[in-house]
Structure 1
Amino acid sequence: MEELEPNKKYISWPVLALMDFVTVIGFDDLAYNFQSQGMGVITSWVIMLFLYVIPYSLMVGQLGSTFNKEGGGLTSWIRGTNGEFLGYFTAWTYWAASIPYVVDTANSLVVGLGWTFNGNASLQNHMSNGWFAFWTLVVFVVFIFTQSRFKHSLEVLSTIGGVAIFGLTVLFVFMTFAGLAMGGHIATQPFTIHTIIPKFNLHYLTTLGLLIYAMNGAELIAPFVTKMRHPNKEFPKAMIMLAAMTAFLTIFGSFSLGVFFNAYHLPKDLKMNGAYYAFQALGNQYHLGNTLLYIYALAEVFYLAALLAVLLDAMTRMLISDTGNRYMPQVLKKTNSVGLPVNGYLLTCGLSAFIMSLGIFLPSMNDIFNWLLNLNGIISPGVTCWVFFAFIKIRQDSEKYPSDYVFIKNDKTALTVGWWCLIVTAVATIFGIGPQDVVFASSTWWYELIINFVSIIVLVGLGLILPYVTRREERSTNGSAFTRLQWTGILAAIFLTIVGDLYLGGSHLTYNIHGIVALSVVGILLVILFGWKEHNLKVD
């Protein structure tokens, strides 16, 4: 019999399910995947829920229970099964995956402000790519300062905003069905059983990553598994409740979108503006004008602003505190007089600016938004692979890794399910690299393919370079990995590339490609000219 601590506060399984539910699915996730697959996404949601999301969540439960003394985080799972370096690299990739997400959040905030002030999608018609990038960077700077002063308030506000967005999503579904009951019509015609069956082709494979991106994040609730009275009985109940609620929202939410949008002829900017279009259409159906639109836009801006500030702080602090002292340079851990990791913030902003600068070469603001979103559909599932990798490791030697909660007692069966989820996620990651929302083999398609690889190489590759920088610091005569002259060359190269990209943004694509190649060459030459030699290192 399990022993219970009399003074310990336990969490009930319905509360755990609700906590996870609010963080898993939002209205934007429905719109993103609706444009990718049309109403066929309904079948995809069902398949993903039962063959992927439920086992994924239950695996997370066992991992959280196994490593409960280390906080239950993804990094500790990998560190506990595969050693310190892989633990560091997992932490780095988890952090790197948040860069496109935080850029996408900033972009969404700019779009949301446009809807709040204009009441329509006219922002994309008047704002150039360069200005879109500029205002995104301004948003970064503003919220870097904001979070340092109102951190705890913003954590509460982001939670309230998330609940508000979720509530509006549920309201949208109920009001849509109420409208149909009162004689409303479905825009998607003809509507047959074939309408909700996706086309299983190459395009479908490229959209799987975005589905996983919409539904991952279950590892965030792992630490709470050990706070339940009876994890073996209650955690599966929480995950079943989560699956039921997610099924309701994704299936009926996607159908509701098909009521207002013809799934056979969707707007090209549905990923960027679909949620706003939907509430605008719902308001018109009920003769409320733009009232529902403005309510949603304000809630979205409110939520995104608070979320962005919290993300910028949390992701930077996680990077410098949970990646291992042996591999993280001291220069990134440096804090100012009030304890803020200033150089960590600079790295976050610099990489975010770099990712944004790649996107401004695309033809339009809508293309930038779609590309950044799809980039999340590559990198986020790639990081989720670590979860299944850790689960496989603990089930290969289950006696070494005991747990209060066990997902599938038979090790061979558990390993089969673990490998299934890992393979599906890896396939989705690989095929997600193929551009989605542009004409196949067009110049824009090839450019997006190139910058997808560039983004992955830079974000992941930098994590492999930092241990080298750390070793240079340790061997340095002055405590710095590089001399001031070398740092000047490196920073000048980065600055030149980003500013040059912003200047070129919006020009012809071919000219932009030539420009970025030229700027990159000049940047490399700057680094070489300013000196990469090891004259400030101790002689071994």
Structure 2
Amino acid sequence: MATNAKIEKKLTLISLILMIFTSVFGFTNIPRSFYLMGYAAIPWYVVSAAAFFIPYAFMMAEYGAAFKSEKGGIYSWMERSVGTKYAFIGTFMWYASYVVWMVNVSSAIWIVISTALFGRDLTSNWSLLGLNSTQTLGLLAVGFMLTITFIGSKGLEKITKVTSIGGLAVTLINLVLLGGALLILALNGGELAQPMKSIGEAFTTSPHPGYQTSIAAVSFMVFSIFAFGGIEVIGGLVDKTENAEKTFPKGVTMAAIIIAIGYAIGIFLCGIFTNWDAILSDSSIHMGNVAYVLMENLGFQLGQAMGMSPELSTTIGLWMSRYMGISMVLALTGAFFTLSYSPLKTLIEGTPAEMWPAKLRESKDGMPVNAMWIQCGIVIVFIVMISFGGEGASAFFSKLILMTNVAMTIPYMFIAAAFPKFKAKESIQKPFEIYKSKTAANVATIFCVVTVAFANLATIIDPATKGDFASTAWMVGGPLFFTVLALKIYSRYEKRIATEAREKVA
């Protein structure tokens, strides 16, 4: 009886909002946003919440309710709505986004490790075998990828438990930021470190020299859309929500507002203790290490506001960033173990078996071992090509993060674009509907697809307008490579099916 009661317990409005918030809200989005746009990042979060997060989340809810019995995830959603080819390419692009994520994190995690050990990012001074710092990080990233794949292929899933410990520690950083910034504000008599000459200018103009043009400002929307990532979890919550018809739309809308406000407050808090020109204009600071620089500065400014000596304030700053470094090492390592096999496993097991060679489908200890090593090889090729491209750390990490943001948001367009077809198919039972009319569904689709496409286009074009054609090439080349690969795999699948059909007839 107790077990049944537990199963039947439904999510209330508050618990639904909390679940969405914890799945979506990410601390590192705050310092990166302040670094790129200052206070001007705040309006973009509001726009992204209204134009993307809310309509897209409602789509996820309808898909999830309609296909709750399907095991193929987003592949099943798109395959049932549009067709096999569209579904496979969309799902493969979703998987590819995690490959790009691994390229990024396997390099960036060394900044985190440096901060955990020394309290700050010292990777710009690292050198192995006479290589420069960027090449050294590339070499270390290769070693990290090989190690993770080797351990992960042994089926040691329990090691991912470190994710929950690190995740809790990272969550507490939000409270440290809030409490520390407000205390500094009070002790400094309400004076902001990043002053506002006027409200209009502060919320429309970036202090970053690379984000002065209209295209650059619009390209920031990719960051704000990426910051709302994780909403896929919403698809499985409809049937677990109490009075879903009324509670779910209200919960998603309120969660979107709370998340947008949370990001807005976090970005504003950064301006309380950080003067952009004094702290963030240094060439050694980039998107890969800015979160740790800001946390170190929070500790230092807190010590200064409390009247401590510069030496003691510096020590507090180092321990503040070290705490964040240790938290992120735990969180990222655990996440990396999970993501080194989970998306790959979903891709192979969720799509028709005929698409994959038998060797690739082989599993040992529940892990797609051969596929994991091929994936490892692809990630290493990308790491080597980017890290040995002859650029400094700032350009290197900027390129990696922009590639990741673009790659992670492209699948949103595939899923959203399939929605009108999903709504039009009467054969699909839809137990939960927010978009009651065809017009409403089409408008929501246009909002989502155009918002993401426009933001990605601006992100891709922006580096080229400044003469950085390499970054533009990588952002185009990555998705293009995986699209061509998906088409080749699908073409091989079609030929195989056609051959089998002819053999049956014969």
* 1:89–1:323 Cα contact (<8 Å) kept: no
In the other structure, the counterpart of 2:294 is 278
Displacement of 1:402 in angstroms is 3.9
- Looking at structure 2, the residues matched to 129 and 392 of structure 1 have their Cα atoms a distance apart, in angstroms, of 45
Matched, 1:334 2:362: yes
1:258-297 map, 5 Å: 258-263=271-276, 266-267=280-281, 268=283, 269-287=285-303, 288-297=316-325
C-alpha change, 1:67 and 1:392, in structure 2 (3 Å) is same
CA distance 1:244–1:171, shift in 2 (3 Å): farther
Paired with 1:7 and 1:252, the residues of 2 have a C-alpha distance of 37
Q: 1:188 touches 1:258 (CA, 8 Å); kept in 2?
A: yes
Quick check: 2:153–2:368 contact (8 Å CA) kept in 1?
A: no
**Post-superposition offset of 1:196:** 1.3
Q: Does 1:196 align with 2:219?
A: no
| Preserved contact between residue 33 and residue 210 of structure 1 (Cα < 8 Å) | yes
Is 2:266 the counterpart of 1:253? Answer: yes
Alignment match of 1:378 (pick from 376, 381, 406): 406
Q: Which residue of 2 aligns with 1:392?
A: 420
- 1:309 counterpart SS class: helix
How far apart, in 2, do the equivalents of 1:465 and 1:372 lie? 26
Deviations 1:461-513 (A, max 9, x none): 1111123445677899xxxxxxxxxxxxxxxxxxxxxxxxxxxxxxxxxxxxx
Whole-Å Cα distance in 2 between the matches of residues 376 and 348 of structure 1? 16
Tell me: CA distance 1:150–1:166, structure 2 relative to 1, closer, same or farther (3 Å). farther
Whole-Å separation in 2 of the counterparts to 1:357 and 1:223: 38
Please list, as runs of the form range in 1=range in 2, the aligned pairs for 1:140-151 lying within 5 A after superposition: 140-148=145-153, 151=156
Alignment correspondent of 1:166: 171
Give 1:89-488 correspondences, 5 Å limit: 89-127=89-127, 128-148=133-153, 151-183=156-188, 185-193=191-199, 194-198=201-205, 201-263=214-276, 266-267=280-281, 268=283, 269-287=285-303, 288-336=316-364, 338-360=365-387, 361-397=389-425, 399-436=426-463, 440-442=465-467, 445-470=468-493
The CA deviation at 1:167 is 2.4
What are the ranges of 5 or more consecutive residues in structure 2 without an aligned counterpart? 128-132, 206-211, 304-315, 500-505
Closer/same/farther in 2, CA of residues 108 and 13 from structure 1, 3 Å limit = farther
> How many Å apart are 1:155 and its aligned residue?
3.7
Q: Aligned to 1:406, what secondary structure does the other structure show?
A: coil
Q: Distance in 2 between matches of 1:285 and 1:261?
A: 8
Partner of 2:309: none
Structure-1 separation of matches of 2:72 and 2:369:
28
Q: Which moved more, 1:378-387 or 1:467-476?
A: 467-476
Counterpart-to-counterpart distance in 2, 1:296 and 1:262: 21
Relative distance call for 1:257 and 1:290 in structure 2 (3 A) is same
C-alpha contact 1:385 1:425 (8 A) present in aligned 2: yes
Contact 1:173–1:253 (CA<8 Å) still a contact in 2? yes
Cα distance between partner residues in 2 of 1:289 and 1:325: 53
Q: Counterpart in 2 of 1:84?
A: 84
Residue of structure 1 in register with 2:209 after alignment: none
Could you say what the CA RMSD is over the residues aligned between the two structures, in angstroms? Answer: 2.7
Q: Aligned partners of 1:104 and 1:223: how far apart in 2?
A: 29
Q: CA shift at 1:157, angstroms?
A: 2.6
Q: Identify the residue that residue 496 of structure 1 maps to in structure 2.
A: none
Q: Is the 8 A contact 1:66 1:402 kept in 2?
A: yes
Corresponding residue of 1:535: none
Contact 1:73–1:223, Cα closer than 8 Å, also in 2? no
Partner of 2:218: helix, strand, or coil?
helix
Against the structure 1 CA distance between its residues 39 and 369, is the aligned structure 2 distance closer, same or farther, given a 3 Å change threshold?
A: same
Q: Distance in 2 between matches of 1:353 and 1:7?
A: 44
- In structure 1, distance between residues paired with 2:166 and 2:81: 37
Mapped contact 1:329–1:467 kept (Cα < 8 A): no
Distance in 1, matches of 2:251 and 2:71, equals: 20
The count of residues paired between Structure 1 and Structure 2 equals 468
- Residues 382 and 243 from structure 1, CA distance in 2 versus in 1: closer, same or farther, beyond 3 angstroms? same
Counterpart residue identity of residue 407, structure 1: I
- Kept in 2: contact 1:62–1:405 (CA 8 A): yes
Residues 243 and 278 of structure 1: CA distance in aligned 2, closer, same or farther (over 3 Å): same
Distance in 1 (alpha carbons) for counterparts of 2:430 and 2:202: 45
1:334–1:342: 8 Å Cα contact kept in structure 2?
Answer: yes
- CA deviations 1:427-486 (Å, max 9, x no partner) are 2222222354xx8443xx01222222222221221111123445677899xxxxxxxxxx
| 1:74 matched to 2:80 | no
User: What is the rounded CA distance, in whole Å, between the counterparts of 1:63 and 1:472 in structure 2?
Assistant: 31
Greater RCO (CA < 8 Å, at least 6 residues apart): 2
Cα-to-partner distance string for 1:135-165 (whole Å, 9 max, x where unaligned): 1111112112333457443343313322321
Q: CA deviation at 1:235?
A: 1.3
C-alpha distance in 2, partners of 1:98/1:328? 19
CA distance in 2, matches of 1:417, 1:150: 41
Task: Confirm or deny: 8 A CA contact 1:54 1:243 kept in the other structure.
Answer: yes
The structural deviation recorded for 1:44 is 1.0
Q: 1:75 to 1:366 in 2, by over 3 A?
A: same
Question: Residue type matched to 2:14 in 1?
Answer: P
Q: Percent identity?
A: 20
Structure 1 residues not aligned, in runs of 5+: 477-539
In structure 1, distance between residues paired with 2:399 and 2:88 = 28
Per-residue deviation, residues 49-103 of structure 1 (Å, max 9, x unmatched): 2232122212211121122221582221101101222222222111011111122
Aligned in 2, Cα 1:6/1:151: closer, same or farther, shift over 3 Å? closer
